[in-house]
A and B are shown apart, each in its own frame.
Chain A
Amino acid sequence: MKTLPILGLLILTLFSCQKGEVISPNNYTCNFNFEDSSQTHPRRSKYQAQIDNMTQKGGVVGVSMSVQDQDGLWLGSSGKADLYNNIDLMPCHITRVGSTVKMYTATLILKLQEEGKLNLDQKIAEHLSGDVIKRIKNAEKATIRQLLQHSSGIYNYIQSAQFQTASINNLIKEWHAEDLLQYAYDKPAYFEPEVDIRYSNTNYILLGLLIEKIEGKALYQVFEEKIFQPLNLKYTSFAGKNPVPSNIIRGYIDLYSNLQVIESTYYSGWDYYTADGGLISNPYDMTVFFKALMAGKIIKTASLQAMLSWRVPKEQDPEFYPIQYGLGIFRMETPRGLAYFHSGDAIGYYANMLYFPEDGTTVVYAVNSNYGKIDHAVSTKNAMEKIILVTKK
């Protein structure tokens, strides 16, 4: 019987708490090589107070924000990039911005159409074959446009309880498109294509495969060549090239909704290689992209009009603004006015990019913590409203 306490001690010795990773502050060094108007912007104090409120009262670990309006560009940050190494967050730091990539993916598809390599009204099955078409309901019938607009009815793999438990079971697994699509195999479609609108990450995984098939290159290369390099987005990359860059800010999750966070930097492995997530950037680069897109500098006017052709889903989230779906972009009426936007989540990260066409303002914010109580300060309707109202003149 004396063996029992020894057994207990052995267990404790074997499985003691893992310490954080020691990272030199130099690792996070970054800077912008341009003059911004952050120090002279007339609403700089309001903006800074808003993000300080998110970190000091809302429990957000770190937030960086960019506001580009008629008075210039304001860049700011609050909180920590790395709690274990006590690194302050800076606006130039790179972070994971999840599904905001869908706007970039849609832009890429529209560029490929402009190059004559595809047509939005072609069926995806004209380009792809095998299990991804045969075993995903509606994949044989859906067009590229329907995938872009989430009107394909194709099942969202993220909704699969088997996927959710499997991803938690192996938090550092790196998932490729085929691994993820298996969770959509043989699942009933939500509706016949074109009948309704329902958000599905599976649509954008298929679009990523389409881009790779047409271009004959890895997705990250196509993003680099067609979007990042032409716009000089120095702080933007697709995770497929380097899933966890050494200078990426640490992510944190409030899993048990008690504002006790653990690090989750390496837990977004389902978000690295597919076109439904996987973007690494910062609010400044995202602002450059969104502004250029809306100004017609990346795709032609006709393509932009196609992107901004809206459809309304039959069911709306009662806890959020009613939204309309474009191609890789959403539209909503807010108390600040009409907004085009896309937000994105990864494990421990959240970002949101908004453009207000009535006054041409772009607002982008990114945080390195989510779930639990933190979401109330970051991604709920109330949280978003506070952030966007502060940017109103």
Chain B
Amino acid sequence: MSKFLGICFSFLPLLILGQGNKLIPINLSFFNEATAIPFTQAFSTPIHPGLQIGTEFNLKSKPTARLFQTANLSYFYHHRLNHGISVFSELGYEQRLKSGPAFSALFGLGYLHTFATAEEFSFQDGQYLNKNDRGNARLLASLAFDVGFYLKKDQPNSPKIFLRYQSWLEYPYSPGFIPLMTHTNLHVGTQFFLTKKNLQQ
């Protein structure tokens, strides 16, 4: 499993460096994951922590609105059930007000690999043996809405802080029992800009 995560974490710098000498937006957020029906509750306990890092580039841009694409790497740990790492991309639309606030909607698709948090026993030759968990492959689809605030409202590359409500589907989940699982992530995050020079230091 460590190898798998290592590969995933090494993927992101390559993606970011691939963008040349431009200012590179970095989105970093911490989130609370929950298995929940989307839009029924904003926050839930216990906290299942997660971390997401990614970048984005504009497809169309105006001073007050933009259409953009993201590339993200995300990790969550759901106590006593599973933990998962995902690579996914979102198509987003942002409306920005001159006074600093901004509102976004993002639709994403990606790949998720989950691992049991408890020891797993595999059935082989008529008995259960303790075996390394190779995890489970999943598809994920997400829909997120966020409220952000640009700290330097006059600058196009202003740092931003945001609160994001992300609902997502995990498929397949438990074949024959629960075909798909719905999750929600409540993110608190920031967007900041790096140059290639910063990244190589």
Which residues does A use to contact B, with CB under 8 Å? 1, 4-5, 7-8, 11-12, 14-15, 17-20, 55-57, 59, 61, 80, 83-84, 161-162, 164-166, 168-172, 252, 255-263, 266-267, 371-372, 375
Which residues does B use to contact A, with CB under 8 Å? 2, 5-6, 8-10, 12-13, 16, 34-37, 40, 44-46, 48, 51, 53, 75, 77-81, 83, 115-123, 126-128, 130-131, 133, 136, 173-178, 181-182, 199-201
- For the complex, give the distance between the alpha carbons of A360 and B48 in Å: 52
- For the complex, give the distance between the alpha carbons of A132 and B36 in Å: 24
- For the complex, give the distance between the alpha carbons of A266 and B81 in Å: 12
CB pair B46 A170 closer than 8 Å: yes
Given contacts A12-B5, A165-B37, 16 further A-B contacts (CB under 8 A): A1-B200, A15-B77, A15-B83, A18-B117, A83-B121, A84-B130, A161-B37, A165-B36, A166-B44, A168-B35, A169-B34, A170-B46, A257-B174, A260-B121, A266-B80, A371-B177
What are 8 A-B interface contacts by the 8 Å CB criterion? A1-B16, A5-B9, A8-B5, A56-B126, A165-B37, A170-B46, A256-B173, A260-B120
Q: Which residue of the partner chain, among B10, B37, B116, B130, contacts A162 with CB atoms under 8 Å? A: B37
- For the complex, give the distance between the alpha carbons of A7 and B176 in Å: 37
| Contact partners of A166 in chain B: CB under 8 A | 35-36, 44
CB pair B121 A261 closer than 8 Å: yes
Query: DSSP class of A's interface residues: helix, strand, loop or mixed?
Result: mixed
In the assembled complex, the CB of A133 is this many whole angstroms from the nearest CB of chain B, namely: 25
In the assembled complex, the CB of B125 is this many whole angstroms from the nearest CB of chain A, namely: 9
CB pair A17 B117 closer than 8 Å: yes
In the assembled complex, the CB of B183 is this many whole angstroms from the nearest CB of chain A, namely: 8
| Contact partners of A257 in chain B: CB under 8 A | 174-177
Identify the closest chain A residue to B6 (Cβ).
A8
- For the complex, give the distance between the alpha carbons of A4 and B44 in Å: 28
Q: Which residue of the partner chain, among B16, B35, B78, B80, contacts A267 with CB atoms under 8 Å? A: B80
Q: Given A57-B126, A371-B177, are A7 and B51 neighbors across the interface (CB < 8 Å)?
A: yes
